[in-house]
Structure 1
Amino acid sequence: MDVLDCIVIGGGPAGLSASLTLGRARRKIALFDDGTNRSRVTQASHGFITQDGIKPKEFKETALKELENYPTVSYFKETVTEIIKASANERFTVKSSTGKELVAEKIVLATGIHERFSIPKIREFYGKSLFSCPFCDGWEQRDKPLVVIAEKEEHILHLTKMVYNWSQDLVALTNGNPLSKEGQLELKKHDIKIITEKIKDLIGNDGYLEKIELENGESIKRSGGFVAPSYYRPNHFAEALGCELDEEGIVKTDHVGRTSQKNVYIAGETERSKPASIMISAAKGNKTAVSVITDIIMERF
């Protein structure tokens, strides 16, 4: 079996960027992607210079088309189910859902993160009228009647203050969780309505929010807003490969993609389990790929 230089797992901005840089360095690599990256629900991605407003599907299709220019890059639209490391981390066998097995010297984990919502109904509106990042979607929601939904006080205060930059017509909902008097005063001085009643339902059509029903019978008309999800890694490859994590679950690295495990690298949101823009994720993918290439060159020179 041929041994590849590197296998990249995850075809979001980080994995695509890493694959491009590796391909341009004449490295023989494979990119695996199962199409579950969280941007798939996004209508348009913003803030990436020269690509502002691009549809994530178009972004990905363009990136994959660019990879075709590099004959040493192979792309597999498959789910990786297992990564088996040989002793001393000199070889890794990657198994996919179709039974494919490939071997590589190095692994880049770029599997990203997923959102978790305490209110499942949010998913019906997420990406169309409810968002998590005001820097990404605040401009399109400017001056609209918006809602901010968050359950922890630090999240409700931070997110509401941020969203206020784009629209002052705000209602803050804590979904049944208390907000301190100090926190309430901070928001009320800007005429922001605070509701601690539990949310009963979100009402709208085709992903576009119209109103929010509370358990006390009250109904609030809103056309969209921002939410504070929690985030998690969709798989445990980093843990299974023995990568060291800190007390917050962040994968420890040298800040350029190298983990505590030899020949195991990480890129993009996977490292911190926190969201990042496509520009930042792509930059991290490039930075990690440079580390992989540098290590290969130095080891073989």
Structure 2
Amino acid sequence: MIYDCTIIGGGPAGLNAALVLGRARRSVALIDNNQPRNAVTHASHGFLTRDGVTPTEFRRIAYNEVLHYPTVEHRPAKVTDIRKLHDGFQIITDSGETIESRKLLMATGLKEVFPAIPGLAEMYGKSLFHCPYCDGWELRDQPLIVLSDNPKVFHMAKLLYNWSRDLVICTNGRSVLTDKQKQVLDSRNIIETEQTIAAFHGSEGKLRQVEFTDGSRINRTGGFVTPQWLPQAVFREGLGYETTELDGIRTDEMGKSTVPGLFAAGEAASGAPSQLIVAAAAGSMAAAGINAELMEEDFA
């Protein structure tokens, strides 16, 4: 069987694309290895009618809705290779299965790489987060730490000031703030330090103290960390698609890449983290683009 479309990735972008294509009566193979990036998150926010939903519950509801459509099939596997064919794609999984389809949608998302700081992994998703729009409300008015060696930390500090006025900005050994930016932070009583963090201390995922390498400690109950973002899956060498400055797959507004028949949606296209609702919307747009392309080919 040759599917109309194979979707790689079972996050909000891939699942919403599968929903739209299923409703369009397109045959879809949805490949998902069940390793979502937000698995450690206690709840997801900002998605109307699903505010506060856990990632597990979101996926359960989504799969129940998507697989209601008989032309959508779920393949719980990991993709190991993709080959471009003359009129489509051949996808090979770690189970040894080979799937062929006319179109391919990459919705594989991103993976996070954090500094190797003791305590960080245990608290990430419970009291340390990366997205203020996702978790700022839950940490409102608390004493917060912001850990980032990215120049965009100044923007993060200004953004978080709306949720908490008790902020400590740590650039972890790097000098990334300008003198003018430091003056702006000082004028708002936002503390900034270039000290290196030695450890996060707390229990059951709840932050209590931040320890620096000079032995000093400060009391904090939560905070935000900027990780390094990398593509969850990379098939650029085999497929030859162009990428953005953030290593996302370059697409147009409908998710179409520079490779005929290849589409991308969500974080796989943007190269940056996004909220559930934004990724889902991108998946819906890409599905519409895929269906339109299939339609034109069928009528050609």
- Preserved CA contact (<8 Å) 2:246 2:272: no
Where does residue 7 of structure 1 map in the other structure? Answer: 6
> For 2:270, what is the secondary structure of its paired residue?
coil
CA offsets, 1:142-177, max 9 Å, x none? 00111111112x222111111110010111111111
Residues in 2 aligned to 1:159 and 1:61: alpha-carbon distance in whole angstroms = 33
1:110 and 2:110 aligned:
no
> For 1:271, what is the secondary structure of its paired residue?
helix
> Once the 2 structures are TM-superposed, how far is the Cα of residue 239 of structure 1 from its aligned partner?
4.4
> For 1:295, what is the secondary structure of its paired residue?
helix
Unaligned runs of 5+ in 2: none
Where does residue 189 of structure 2 map in the other structure? Answer: 191
Residues in 1 aligned to 2:44 and 2:38: alpha-carbon distance in whole angstroms = 8
> For 2:157, what is the secondary structure of its paired residue?
helix
Q: Which amino acid aligns with 1:166?
A: W
> For 2:102, what is the secondary structure of its paired residue?
strand
> Once the 2 structures are TM-superposed, how far is the Cα of residue 56 of structure 1 from its aligned partner?
1.1
Q: Which amino acid aligns with 1:167?
A: S
Where does residue 98 of structure 1 map in the other structure? Answer: 95
Q: Which amino acid aligns with 1:39?
A: N
> Once the 2 structures are TM-superposed, how far is the Cα of residue 235 of structure 1 from its aligned partner?
1.7
Where does residue 285 of structure 2 map in the other structure? Answer: 287
1:213 aligned residue (211, 214, 219): 211
> Once the 2 structures are TM-superposed, how far is the Cα of residue 120 of structure 1 from its aligned partner?
4.5
Residues in 2 aligned to 1:66 and 1:249: alpha-carbon distance in whole angstroms = 32
Q: 1:247 to 1:167 in 2, by over 3 A?
A: closer
- Preserved CA contact (<8 Å) 2:110 2:268: yes
Residues in 1 aligned to 2:50 and 2:208: alpha-carbon distance in whole angstroms = 30
The two structures, once aligned, show a CA RMSD in angstroms of 1.3
Where does residue 25 of structure 1 map in the other structure? Answer: 24
Where does residue 39 of structure 1 map in the other structure? Answer: 38
Equivalent pairs counted in the alignment come to: 297
> Once the 2 structures are TM-superposed, how far is the Cα of residue 77 of structure 1 from its aligned partner?
1.3
> For 1:14, what is the secondary structure of its paired residue?
helix
Matches for 1:167-182 after TM superposition, within 5 Å = 167-178=164-175, 179-182=177-180
Residues in 2 aligned to 1:56 and 1:222: alpha-carbon distance in whole angstroms = 26
- Preserved CA contact (<8 Å) 1:47 1:279: yes
> Once the 2 structures are TM-superposed, how far is the Cα of residue 238 of structure 1 from its aligned partner?
4.0
Matches for 1:212-291 after TM superposition, within 5 Å = 212-291=210-289
- Preserved CA contact (<8 Å) 2:44 2:134: yes
* Runs of 4+ more than 6 Å apart: none
Q: Which amino acid aligns with 1:273?
A: G
- Preserved CA contact (<8 Å) 1:37 1:111: no
CA offsets, 1:192-224, max 9 Å, x none? 111211111111112211111101110011110
- Preserved CA contact (<8 Å) 1:109 1:238: no
> Once the 2 structures are TM-superposed, how far is the Cα of residue 69 of structure 1 from its aligned partner?
1.3
Q: 1:291 to 1:207 in 2, by over 3 A?
A: same
